[in-house]
Structure formats: C-alpha cells, structure tokens
Structure 1
Amino acid sequence: MATRDDPPVPAQSAAPEELLTAAEAAHLAARSAPGESADMAGGAADAPAVAGVAGAAAAAGRAGRPGRASRGDRPRRAPLPLAAAVATGWAALLSFTPVALFVTLLIFVELGPTGLLDPLRVAAAGWLLGHGVALQTPEGPIGVAPLAIGALAAWRVARAGVHVTRAMGARHRRSFWHALLAAVVVAVGYGGLGALAGFVVGEQDWGVSVVVAGVTLAGFGLLAAGCGSLHATGVWRMWLARLPAAVPAGARAAVVAVAVVFASGAVLAGAAIAVDWREAGDMLAVYQTGVAGQAGLTLMCLAFAPNLMVWATAYLLGPGFAIGSDTVVRSSEVTAAQPLPPLPVFAGVPDGPLPTLGAVLLVVPVIAGALAGRGLARRLRAAALIRRIRAGWGQLLTAVVVAGAVAGLLIGAAAYLSGGPLLSGALTTLGPDPLPVAGFAAASVTVGGLIGAGASTALSRRRRA
C-alpha cells in the first residue's frame, strides 16, 4: 500500500525520462532517511582495534529485568590518547612500509649489506617527500612529491580520523567539536612521527629539517584526519543539508567531471609512453643495474605516475606544463631548451605541437563537463520531484557554476601538488602552473556543464509537453 512518504508514482504512459527521474527521486528519498551515514571506503577489515571492546548493552527486558543495562554490559572504549596513538601509528606504518621494503631490497640486492641505518634513512626521506617535505641536497632541493605515496598516506590518515571518532563514541553525533578533537589528536601524533622521521634522515650531506618535517606532517594529518572525522560524525552531511540543493548537486557533478578529466589524462600519458616504448626501454637500459635495480626504477616511475596524469591533464586543458626553466609543453607549442631527465616516464613527452587531427583531444574536458551536467540536471529534477516543486533554470545555472568552480579548485590543487624543483639549474621548475590550469578547468567544466544540463533539461521538458 502506498504511504504519504512515497514519491509520486508516474503514470503508465509517462516517458522513459520521467520514469527514470521518478526512480532517482525515490532513491534520493531513501538515502535521506534519518540515521543513514555510510562509512568511508576502507571498511572494517583494514582497521586496528582502536575502539576497544564495544559490546552492545543487554536488552532491558530480555529476562524480565527492568530498565537499565548493568555496569558490566555497558560499552567500553579505549582511552582517546591510546586510540589516537594506535590509529595514527597504523596509518603511518601502512604508508611507510612499501617505501621501506622497496628501498631495503634495492640497496641490499644492488649494493650488498650496508647496515640498517642507510636504507632506513633513504626510506624515511622518500616517505617524507611523499608528504611534501622537500629534500635538501648539495646540488639543490628535491621537491617533486610522488603523489602515489601521498595519496596512500592521505587515505590511511583519513581512516585514522574515522577510527578515533568511533573510539570517542562520536559517530553520527553531528558534533563539529568532536570531529575537530579527533583531527587534532591525530595531527599531533602524525606530526610527532614526522619529526621522528626527520630526525632519522638528519642533515648530513643531504637531509630535511626536523621542524619542517614535524609541522608539515601535522598539517597533513589535520586535513586528512579532519575529512575522515567530519564524515564519521555526520557533520559533512549536516552542512550539505543546510545548503541550497544546487550547491551539493554542483559539487557532486564537479567530482564526476574531475574524475573523467583525470582518467583522460592518465590514458593520454600511458598511450604516449606506450607509443615510444623503445625510447623508454633505452632510458631504462642506461642505468647499469640488475633486475632489482630496473624493478626499482620502474616502481619509482609508478610512484610518480599520478604526477604524470596531472601533467597530461594540464596538457589536455591547454596551459600545459614545464620540464625546466623557460620551457613549456602544450598542444600548440613545445619548447625544451635542455635534455630531459633520463627517466622512462619522460619518453612520452611530445617533440612538437599537436597535429590538427589530434586537436580533438582538447574537447575532452568539455565533454567531461557535459556528462557531469547531464547527471546534474537529472539530480536536480529528482530533488524537485521530492519537494513537489519545479526545477528552474536559475537553480540549474547556479549548480553548473558551482560545479565549474569546484572542478577548477580540485584540478588546480592537484597541479600545485604535482610539481616542484628537481635539484638546481635547468630543472628548478617542473610541472604545470596551477592558476592557469585551474582557470581553464573551471571554464571547460562550466561550458560543458551548461551544454549537458541545458540539453538534458530542454529534452525532458519537450517530452513532457
């Protein structure tokens, strides 16, 4: 039997577009039910036991006993410092272990046993570099962070924020202060681990500053754990619910557009390297190493694969990227005044401007915006169906503008994080300029979003007429 809360059922003669919109409206209504809040990806299997024994209280009237559960049946949770220490240490261990195993294996196999300190020092330096801590050397700073390591660390620290929130008993409580407390305690612990890693690296010949390492990782932990704790407490959902429907819908559309654009950049970078696979193999053969050494170089290139994806995305958007001072690599111009670093990943760098036929690649960001705009229009129509109102063009335009702004912010931030200096001299500038990349990304997604959302809305209204 239908109830008052059920969304209106479309007529049997309704168009397929209307049926799809009604179904999506029902789905949104079900997701907006009170108390529903999914955990972040990563699940229960990957977390240490940071919340202690949290057994449920016994049912009040199960054996005829009135009222309250006994003291022994009350949930018990780990103290906050202990929960934060275990969750933060586990997050750091999971992101540091791959780097340590790779460095240790490479040094032991290629150079023989050299003691435990040398591989540990190199691994700590690589781990800190993945968090954005530049490595100072006599030849200049190394500041290009391997984004694969940084992404893994951010995911694990965000999960640490979720676990600490659970240990506090603040899950689904929609308390900003509980979320902030969880993020702060994780940030303090993560900053301490960063300072410890900086101490291990030291400053002999090459190294990092202990203070810079501690402060950088504390800020990293605050941002990443804050995202996890805000999600676990339900504060994100509460904030989004207070905003006009166009704002969260536009933000979701931006995430879709950014994912499509980055995927296109990854495909472009991989295809470029695959086309010049002989040159990549020659670059790899230059290094006189054994199997372990070549495997290590390959893994190092994979660690920087997200950087290349972002650079290829900047190439698709138009501004391109730099591979040294006074150089530029974009679709209309390629200027490389000095030899490229002898790494296989640079084999895919184009030698000249993009051919006329290849210029169709430049419409990929607009297509991504159009796909996101189409989904955005459907979502707004579904939300309007729930509220029994009519979705207007003004609301749609607002959502598209929000989508373009958020997409530009996300892609610009990725462009900023993907670059940096590589020693001194000609390679002091590597990567794209974040401001032009953000501007072109925002414009492309906005234009594409207007096309996709406008066409979807007009077609839907035409079918209803």
Structure 2
Amino acid sequence: MTQVIERGAPLPSAPQARAPRRSPAAAACVLGGAVAAGLGLGFLAVLVIVLWISSPYPDSGPGGALHLAAGLWLMAHGTELVRYDTLSGVPAPVGVTPLLLVALPVLLMRRAARLGSASGVGAGPDTEAEELLPASAVFSAVVCGYLAVGALATLYAAGGPMPADPISAAWHLPLVAVCAAGGGVWAAKGRPAGSLPGWVPAGVRRAVARPRYALALRSGAAGVLVLLGGGTVLVGASLVWHAGEVQSSFLTLTGVWSGRFAVLLLAVTLLPNAVVWGAAYGLGPGFAVGTGVAATPLGFAGAPALPRFPLLAALPPEGPGTPLTWAAAGVPVVAGLVVGWLAVRRAREVSYGETALTAALGAVVCGLAMAGLAAASAGALGTRALAAFGPVWWQAGAAATGWVLALAVPVAVGVHGLRNRPAAGDAGDAWHDSGVRELRWAVLREAALPIVAPASEAPAAAPAPGAPAAPAGPAEGEPASGGPGEGEPASGGPGEGTSASAGPVVPGASEPVDAVGDGEVPGGQGGVEAGPLAPGVVGARVLARRRPEA
C-alpha cells in the first residue's frame, strides 16, 4: 500500500541500523561453561556413588560420597586436598594429581569453548551477524560460567572428609579453565597461526615469524613424545619383571570386588604419572619415593616408607645400579637423535649456524615440556616421610635440556652436511648442483625441438608405393610452370637446410639426420622394405620418404 503524507507533515526518518544483540549468545556461552563443569562433577559423582553403594563397609552416608566427588573434581584440576582423619591428628596434604583424571575437565571445557565459538553459524545471515561473538567474548563467557560452578564446588567440598585447599584451588582451577578454553577457541577459529599483537615490537614479531621457531617446536615435541614412550617401556618392563609382587599387592589390599575395582581405577588413572616418572628415571635424576629417598639408574638408596600399592611394587630393587638399570640412559639418547634429525630444514640456503640454533631451541622446548610434566605429576601424599613423591621439576627439565642439546646439535649439523654434500667424485664441480642441472636440461630440450618439424610447416605427404601420383596443381601465388617459385630451390636440388636424401639439420651435429619413412628399414640398402615401424610421436607428423633408386 502507498503511504500518503499530508502537506506539512514531517518526513519519516530513514531506518537506523539495528545494534547487534549479543547478550543471548553470551548467555549461551556462560551456560555452556557451567554445563561443562556440571558434566564433570556429575560423572565423578555417579562413579563415587556406585562405589559407595557396592562397598560392604561404607564410612559415611551419600552426603559424604557427594562431598568426596566434589573434592575429586577439584583434584582433577591440580588442586591439593587435605586429609584430616589421620592417626597423628595432623592434617596431611594429598597433592599427587592423577594425570588421566585431568583429561576429563580439559576435554569438556574445550568442547564448550568450541561450541560457543560456533554459535549462530547456520541460522541465516542476519542471525549469524547478530549472535556470532568474537573469540575474546566467547573465551571470557565460557571461563566465567566454568569458574562460577568451580567456586560453588569448592565451598561444597569444604564440608566433606577431604576438603580442597582454598589457595591451591584459587589458581589451579582458573589455570586449567583458561588453557582449555583458549585451546577450544583456537581450534574453532581454524587454528590460526597469525602474527603477534600490534603492541609487540616489530623486531620481535619478525624474529618469531621465522621458520626456525615452528621447526624447533615440532622437533621439541617429538623429543618429548620419545621420552614419554621410553618411560612407558620402562614402566611396562618393570611391571612384567615384578609381576609377582604387583599381583600380591593388588590382592592383599582388599578382599571384596568393589574395593579391588576402586584400586584398579586408581592405578589406571595414575599410569600417566608413572610414565613421566619413568622418563625422569631414564634422564638420570630419577624420582623421589619419600623424603630423602630417590630412585635413579645409578642406585636406589634409602629406606622408603611406601604404602602397599601395585604401581609402587614395581620399583627397582634397593642398592647400587646394575647394567640393566644403566640401559635406561638409552631413552634420552634416542630423544636427542630424533630432535637433531627433525631440526634440519631441507632448504639449501640454510647455514650450519641456523641449523645448530634450531636444534638448540628444540632442546629447550623439550626441557621446558618435561619440567612442566614433572611438576604436574609430583606432589605429596602426607607429611614427613611422605612429603615428596615424584621427580623434581627443575632437575628433570635441566637433564632433558642437557641430554638433547648435547646430542641434537651435532646430529643436526651432520645431517645438514650430508644432505648438502656434492656428489662423489665431483667435489668442487658445479655440474651436479640442482640449479645447474635444471638449466642444463632446459638447454637440451630447446636444442631438441628442431628435430621434429611443426605440423604447420611440414610438406605434403608422399604417395604410397604403387599408387598413381596426383597431379600437383599450382599453388596460390606461385607460377603455373613447373619451375621453382620465389624463395624455393630448383627441382632436384637441395633446399635451404635440407638435401635430397637428408632430413633437417640438428644444431651441433656435423651431418644431417636421415629421415626414416613409414615402412622402411633404417639404414637399409637396395630399397629393401620391411613391416611398419612403431607409431610416431603423439602431436608430431611423421613424413614418409623413399630413397631415390640408384
């Protein structure tokens, strides 16, 4: 319908652009973070309730089980718990975090951040423009929702048998949430590897953009994987070697199936810790099994006050080391070789100093990663003799850096020299250099082009033997007589660059190349003919010619 505007009435104003409404999407991200925390709490609560129901001697009611589930959820973030019901009456800290349990909140938080980053996609162009949040807003909203539930869980666990240390929860919980949410948002945005922010100095941005840093990161990560793989081999071999002690420890801890199932679950969640401890054992510093007691390849000194547990029953025997324990040093040797091999770039213009620097940076990355893993896997299981368990983080990091640095740098330099060495017997000759070889082949291809005449310049094909020759009429622009045309040689005489019995002249050849016709034996005498030869080259016209009779 047409709108009628009266005379003197004000004109309607143009429609203003509607401000984007981001509050629904932000609320959805906050709710997603809270749901991620709730799912982790619910999973552990169901597991603890099942174990409590199946236990023949429960220590507390269902409320105590739920409080314990909240404490375990906080422990999965690295928070230290406090145990008050001790024989001495002194509160004992429990700081060894099962690393497998950490995967639960990390995966849930990462999934919540990815879903929050993808909110609004597929709902139409207008909805997407209004509800799709930037990465910083998604990150902040998801972290806020997660930490809100974490604060409530900390308050709830304070009334249970193993409350969380408030100071430890105040920084462990945000650390895990921030790292997991950042990884989820980064993955949702396509894993961008863009430059640093604008406030970073330009020199630093240019330096970080160099390929050496990405290569050092990859080679250092490969070294960490090799160390962890070696730790897995050491732990598995020790469990098999002490299979009798491990079985006896597992069976004597409890006689009911629910208790044995709980012990098995705890041992499985602590297996990644044992792998890190095995890697630290191969590096040399080893790991502590109590205050003043350390297990190293050189020996196991001290009198450890260890509780009965299947994983602790697989420790090496007390006393000095043996050649079997010294063989654990092969783990960091292999890691150093792998880092040195992967730190070499395949570009020929890279210098030896650049290759050595890349290998050294890979060793630093490997050392930092091992230090972080050692710190995360260690902790206290009590007071006095049980106050220290696991590797010392700075010793494990320094040993990993030293081993890899001592091996990776010479290996990288050697591999770089082998890849860029000249061919055998051609030292000082640039004939086998890749650039010269490409130029040489280009020149040979250009020289071989005139051998085959182009189709547009080729003369008419000769008639087959025994067939009547077609009368050759005068071409357009040529005289009707049989004499030679302009620029054309006389009949029977050789033309420019050709002869009566020869083909085109190859550049660099002293004599012309004979053209071989279809059905003629090359080099034959007396006009002896044979069967047809192989078909010609695709895209070129093969001319059939006969030798003149003698």
TM-score range, shorter chain: 0.7 to 0.9
Which has the larger displacement, 177-186 or 141-150? 177-186
How far residue 318 of structure 1 moved from its aligned partner, in angstroms, is 0.5
How far residue 350 of structure 1 moved from its aligned partner, in angstroms, is 0.7
Q: How far, CA to CA, are the matches of 2:151 and 2:272 in structure 1? A: 26
8 A Cα contact 1:415 1:433, kept in partner: yes
When residues 95 and 253 of structure 1 are mapped into structure 2, their CA distance, relative to the original with a 3 A threshold, is farther
| Amino acid in structure 2 at the alignment position of 1:291 | W
Q: Percent same amino acid at aligned positions?
A: 28
Which structure would you say has the larger RCO, counting Cα contacts within 8 Å and 6 or more residues apart? 1
8 A Cα contact 2:26 2:138, kept in partner: no
Match of residue 374 from structure 1 = 341
Match of residue 201 from structure 2 = none
When residues 100 and 125 of structure 1 are mapped into structure 2, their CA distance, relative to the original with a 3 A threshold, is same
Which of 143, 157, 163 is equivalent to 2:95? 143
When residues 168 and 456 of structure 1 are mapped into structure 2, their CA distance, relative to the original with a 3 A threshold, is farther
How far residue 452 of structure 1 moved from its aligned partner, in angstroms, is 3.5
When residues 159 and 353 of structure 1 are mapped into structure 2, their CA distance, relative to the original with a 3 A threshold, is farther
8 A Cα contact 2:305 2:386, kept in partner: no
Q: Where do residues 195-344 of structure 1 align in structure 2 (5 Å cutoff)? A: 195-203=151-159, 205-209=161-165, 213=169, 215-233=171-189, 236-239=192-195, 243-344=209-310
Q: How far, CA to CA, are the matches of 1:327 and 1:214 in structure 2? A: 31
Structure 2 length-normalised TM: 0.63
Instruction: Please say if 1:110 is aligned against 2:69.
Output: no
Q: Where do residues 50-199 of structure 1 align in structure 2 (5 Å cutoff)? A: 79-111=24-56, 115-138=61-84, 139-167=91-119, 178-199=134-155
Match of residue 69 from structure 1 = none
Q: How far, CA to CA, are the matches of 1:248 and 1:167 in structure 2? A: 31
Which has the larger displacement, 452-461 or 137-146? 452-461
What is the root-mean-square deviation of aligned Cα atoms in Å? 2.8
When residues 299 and 325 of structure 1 are mapped into structure 2, their CA distance, relative to the original with a 3 A threshold, is same
8 A Cα contact 1:147 1:418, kept in partner: yes
When residues 95 and 455 of structure 1 are mapped into structure 2, their CA distance, relative to the original with a 3 A threshold, is farther
Which has the larger displacement, 434-443 or 180-189? 180-189
How far residue 201 of structure 1 moved from its aligned partner, in angstroms, is 1.4
8 A Cα contact 2:26 2:137, kept in partner: no
| Amino acid in structure 2 at the alignment position of 1:228 | G
Q: How far, CA to CA, are the matches of 1:152 and 1:344 in structure 2? A: 24
8 A Cα contact 1:370 1:450, kept in partner: no
Q: How far, CA to CA, are the matches of 1:231 and 1:131 in structure 2? A: 21
Match of residue 6 from structure 1 = none
8 A Cα contact 1:183 1:221, kept in partner: no
When residues 215 and 167 of structure 1 are mapped into structure 2, their CA distance, relative to the original with a 3 A threshold, is farther
How far residue 140 of structure 1 moved from its aligned partner, in angstroms, is 0.9
8 A Cα contact 1:95 1:149, kept in partner: no
How far residue 76 of structure 1 moved from its aligned partner, in angstroms, is 11
Q: How far, CA to CA, are the matches of 2:25 and 2:302 in structure 1? A: 54
| Amino acid in structure 2 at the alignment position of 1:348 | A
Q: Give secondary structure in 1 for the equivalent of 2:93.
A: strand
When residues 199 and 234 of structure 1 are mapped into structure 2, their CA distance, relative to the original with a 3 A threshold, is same
How far residue 212 of structure 1 moved from its aligned partner, in angstroms, is 5.0
8 A Cα contact 1:188 1:218, kept in partner: no
8 A Cα contact 1:179 1:229, kept in partner: yes
How far residue 134 of structure 1 moved from its aligned partner, in angstroms, is 0.9
8 A Cα contact 1:194 1:214, kept in partner: no
When residues 451 and 98 of structure 1 are mapped into structure 2, their CA distance, relative to the original with a 3 A threshold, is farther
Q: Where do residues 449-464 of structure 1 align in structure 2 (5 Å cutoff)? A: 449-462=408-421
How far residue 233 of structure 1 moved from its aligned partner, in angstroms, is 3.2
Which has the larger displacement, 147-156 or 136-145? 147-156
> Per-residue displacement from partner, 1:156-188 (whole Å, max 9, x unpaired)?
32333333222377xxxxxxx944433332222
Q: How far, CA to CA, are the matches of 2:49 and 2:160 in structure 1? A: 20
Which has the larger displacement, 296-305 or 365-374? 365-374
Match of residue 426 from structure 2 = none
| Amino acid in structure 1 at the alignment position of 2:189 | T
Q: Where do residues 385-424 of structure 1 align in structure 2 (5 Å cutoff)? A: 390-424=349-383
Q: How far, CA to CA, are the matches of 1:295 and 1:78 in structure 2? A: 47
When residues 245 and 420 of structure 1 are mapped into structure 2, their CA distance, relative to the original with a 3 A threshold, is same
| Amino acid in structure 2 at the alignment position of 1:405 | V
| Amino acid in structure 2 at the alignment position of 1:130 | A
Greater share of residues in helix: 1
Match of residue 63 from structure 1 = none
| Amino acid in structure 2 at the alignment position of 1:142 | V
Q: How far, CA to CA, are the matches of 1:454 and 1:310 in structure 2? A: 30
Q: Give secondary structure in 1 for the equivalent of 2:421.
A: helix
How far residue 98 of structure 1 moved from its aligned partner, in angstroms, is 4.4
When residues 254 and 159 of structure 1 are mapped into structure 2, their CA distance, relative to the original with a 3 A threshold, is farther
> Per-residue displacement from partner, 1:183-228 (whole Å, max 9, x unpaired)?
3322222211211222221245531256753553123211221233
Which has the larger displacement, 209-218 or 129-138? 209-218
Q: Give secondary structure in 1 for the equivalent of 2:67.
A: helix
Q: How far, CA to CA, are the matches of 1:463 and 1:96 in structure 2? A: 63
Q: How far, CA to CA, are the matches of 1:216 and 1:357 in structure 2? A: 39
Q: Give secondary structure in 1 for the equivalent of 2:276.
A: helix
After superposing on structure 2, the runs of 4+ consecutive aligned residues of structure 1 that deviate more than 4 Å are: 75-78, 112-115, 209-212
When residues 356 and 314 of structure 1 are mapped into structure 2, their CA distance, relative to the original with a 3 A threshold, is same
Which has the larger displacement, 181-190 or 109-118? 109-118
Unmatched tracts of structure 2, length 5 or more: 1-19, 85-90, 122-132, 197-205, 424-431, 433-550
Q: How far, CA to CA, are the matches of 2:331 and 2:276 in structure 1? A: 14
Match of residue 347 from structure 1 = 313
8 A Cα contact 1:102 1:296, kept in partner: no
Q: How many residues are treated as equivalent by the alignment? A: 377
Match of residue 363 from structure 1 = 330
8 A Cα contact 2:55 2:258, kept in partner: yes
Q: Give secondary structure in 1 for the equivalent of 2:307.
A: coil
